Amino acid sequence: MGSGASAQKTIYLEVDGKVQKINFSPQSNGSDIKQILRTSSRLPRQASVILVDNRGTLIAIDPTIPANCQNSPYRIISQDTSSRSEKEDLFQTLLAQVTEEFTRAFRISELKREVYERLTALEHRVEAEGRRAIDIDKCKLEVKKLRDELEERSNSRLSCPCKYYRSGDIIRINPRRDVPSYPKYTLSSETIETLKKPTFDVWQWEYNEMLSCLEFMYHDLGLVREFNMNPITLKRWLLCIQENYRTNPFHNFRHCFCVTQMMYGMIHLCELQGRLSLMELGILMTAAVCHDLDHPGYNNTYQINAHTELAIRYNDISPLENHHCAVAFQILAQPENNIFSNISPEVFKQIRQSIIRLILATDMARHGDILESFKQVVFNFDFGKEEHVKTLQMMLIKCCDISNEVRPTEVAEPWVDCLLEEYFMQSDREKSEGLPVTPFMDRDQVTKPKAQIGFIKFVLIPMFEAVMKLFPQIEEVMVRPLQEARDHYEELMQLEEAMVEVQQKRAEILSGGGKVK
């Protein structure tokens, strides 16, 4: 709480028919505010809460929550307080849907059997009567008619309750939702503005809130209108995207959101809406959303050395990035998830080729080549030249993919911890399987400063400085924070070295190797 009224933010909350006045500091984070709301509503500490206004609109719980008045208080809905009858109704509804699905599946099976029998009869007829007695073209037409009938029946059924496919060494089961279940949050004007900046704190948001933010970005940039997207399909696609990111320490859905939010921020910061077409912006955003789909948590070096299914399938050539592309277009191949269903096949082909190119560009093995290509065109860059724009798009997604150190230290540093945890998991596995151990992932050799200093100095700063030549406005908000991050980790390195030296001298004294005068 703040020390004075000016340091507090006030909202009104209805609890058991009574209106309570809730004060909190604008510096409180989302978790703090939720705990205050739980306490005020006498809910358990771990209860999941949803905040709604008097019209039932869901309100995002963060420091920018809109103030209200005593006559229109907010209400809390706890997801742990569903009534028994509601749960029973939900169960009965699901049971009815499953029963209907099995009934339709049985009918399709019967149809397939019928088609097979009729096709077999036609084949026998051709064989028995010979070409002179049978109009072959007529038979082909009848066969095509039967196949079209089967396809039409198959496409008209309900989506299967679940799907699965094998990826690496894990069999994944992913729910298929016909009606999106996540709510639409009301984003405050403050949130909308911070969403456009690299300083946005990605740690203060839950998955449903991140999905709503992504949905807002597509609407705000005009992509929904440009591609004539069905808004419900957009929701369903985003849900399916989230479900196809694994719960890795680093390469997870929050990372996906982080990269996409940075792309959205760079579009605004570099004023790309006036320089690139809406199709080009849509490609950038969609590639960012899909760029790490179904990442298994072990990098390309491990995939190749361990001869995994992915490495074999893609002949050791960017196996992970190729897999991310494949999963992205497997999702889009499902009619219920195809946000590009209302564009022409020719335009979709261009979009597909471009998204694949951008996702493949995130393979760090190609970093040097892509950076050099951009340096060759940056001084005479022409937004009217297709090759120049393609190179810029690859640079932008690369910048966004590894942009954590651009963010404030309190936002960026937890990402380093997550990345090191994932690195150490890989090096431990490499050791246990007798594979070459990736040096920068070895928990016995790597520290946080060691992991970051070289990466910031030799990868991040040169890359962002190259982009700065085309967009000088990123110097203050992107390049300078990188320089400060480099200085921060160099200070930590010096402190670590000093501590090691002290420990060594202490060990020498204790072992008798040194004399105290």
**What tens digit of pLDDT does each residue of 104-115 get?**
666 666 666 666
Q: Is residue 512 part of a domain?
A: no
CATH of the domain at 74: 3.10.20.90
Residues 126 and 197 in one domain: no
β-pairing verdict for 58-59 and 185-186 = parallel
Q: Does residue 26 sit within a domain?
A: yes
> Which amino acid type is present at position 164?
Y
Residue 72 and residue 90 share a domain: no
Q: Exposed/middle/buried for 306, CB within 10 Å: 0-12, 13-18, 19+?
A: middle
Classify residue 506: in a domain, yes or no.
no
Show which of 18, 47, 78 is a domain's final residue.
78
Per-residue burial over 127-159, b if 16 or more Cβ lie within 10 Å, else e, is eeeeeeeeeeeeeeeeeeebeeebeeeeeeeee
Choose one of 158, 177, 198: the last residue of a domain. Answer: 158
- Looking at the structure, tell me whether residues 401 and 451 fall in a common domain: yes
In a domain, 501, yes or no: no
Q: Check pLDDT > 90 for residue 22.
A: no
Q: How confident is the model at residue 507 (pLDDT cuts 50, 70, 90)?
A: confident
State whether 69 and 218 are in the same domain: no
Active site residue 291: no
Same domain, 126 and 209: no
CA angle, 507 then 509 then 515, to 5°: 160
11 and 96 assigned to the same domain: no
pLDDT band at 5 (very low <50, low <70, confident <90, very high): very low
CB atoms closer than 10 angstroms to residue 7: 12
Instruction: Say yes or no: 416 and 271 in one domain.
Output: yes
CATH assignment of the domain containing 293 = 1.10.1300.10
Q: List CB contacts of 216: < 8 A, sequence separation 6 or more.
A: 187, 192, 195
Among candidate residues 78, 106, 136, the one where a domain is terminated: 78
Question: Measured between alpha carbons, how far is 252 from 294 in angstroms, rounded to an integer?
Answer: 8
Q: Which two tokens stand for residue 323?
A: 């897999």
Cα separation, 86 vs 90, in Å, equals 6
pTM above 0.85, yes or no: no
Answer for the pair 367, 255: CB distance below 8 angstroms, yes or no: no
Answer whether residue 127 shows pLDDT above 60: no
Dihedral (CA of 37, 43, 49, 52) sign: negative
497 within domain boundaries: no
Integer Cα distance of 279 and 282 in angstroms: 5
pLDDT at residue 169, as a whole number: 40
Residues 111 and 13 in one domain: no
Assess if residue 105 is contained within a domain.
yes
Structure confidence by residue, pLDDT tens digits, 33-48: 888 888 888 887 777 7
Q: Which residues pair with 171 in a beta bridge?
A: 166
Where in the sequence is the domain holding 104, given as residue range(s)? 84-158
Q: How far is CA 334 from CA 176, 237, 337, 338, 340, in A?
A: 10, 9, 5, 6, 11
Q: CA-to-CA distance for 121 and 423, rounded, in angstroms?
A: 61
Helix (H, G, I), strand (E, B) or coil at 169: coil
Q: What type of residue sits at position 426?
A: Q
Question: In this structure, are 73 and 90 located in the same domain?
Answer: no
**Same domain, yes or no, for 138 and 119?**
yes
What band does 148 get if pLDDT is binned at 50, 70 and 90? low
Give the whole-angstrom CA distance, residue 452 versus residue 417. 11
Handedness of CA 407, 408, 414, 416 (dihedral sign): positive
- Give the number of other CB atoms < 10 A from CB of residue 64: 16
Mean pLDDT of the chain: 84
Q: Is residue 516 part of a domain?
A: no
Total domains in the chain come to 3
Q: How far apart are CA 279 and CA 384, in angstroms?
A: 14
Write out the two tokens for 508: 């020498």
Catalytic residue among 219, 251, 268, 291: 251
Residues 79-102: what's their mean pLDDT? 56
Residue 70 and residue 14 in contact, taking contact as beta carbons nearer than 8 Å: no
Residue range 238-296, pLDDT digits in tens: 999 999 999 999 999 999 999 999 999 999 999 999 999 999 999 999 999 999 999 99
Same domain? For 29 and 127 the reply is no
Position 504 in a domain = no
Q: Tens of pLDDT along 185-215?
A: 688 899 999 999 999 999 999 999 999 999 9
- In degrees, rounded to 5, the angle at the alpha carbon of residue 18 between the alpha carbons of residues 13 and 21 is 40
Asked if 133 contacts 73 with a C-beta cutoff of 8 angstroms, the reply is: no
244 and 299 share a domain? yes
Q: Which of 446, 414, 493 is nearest to 438 (CA)?
A: 446
What is the per-residue pLDDT across 384-424, written as a single tens digit (0 to 9) for each?
Answer: 999 999 999 999 999 999 999 999 999 999 999 999 999 99
On the question of pLDDT at 168 being above 90, the answer is: no
- Check if the beta carbon of residue 22 is closer than 8 Å to that of residue 73: no
Q: Is the pLDDT confidence value at 224 over 70? A: yes
In angstroms, the CA 21 to CA 41 distance is 12
Asked if the model's pLDDT at residue 89 lies above 70, the reply is no
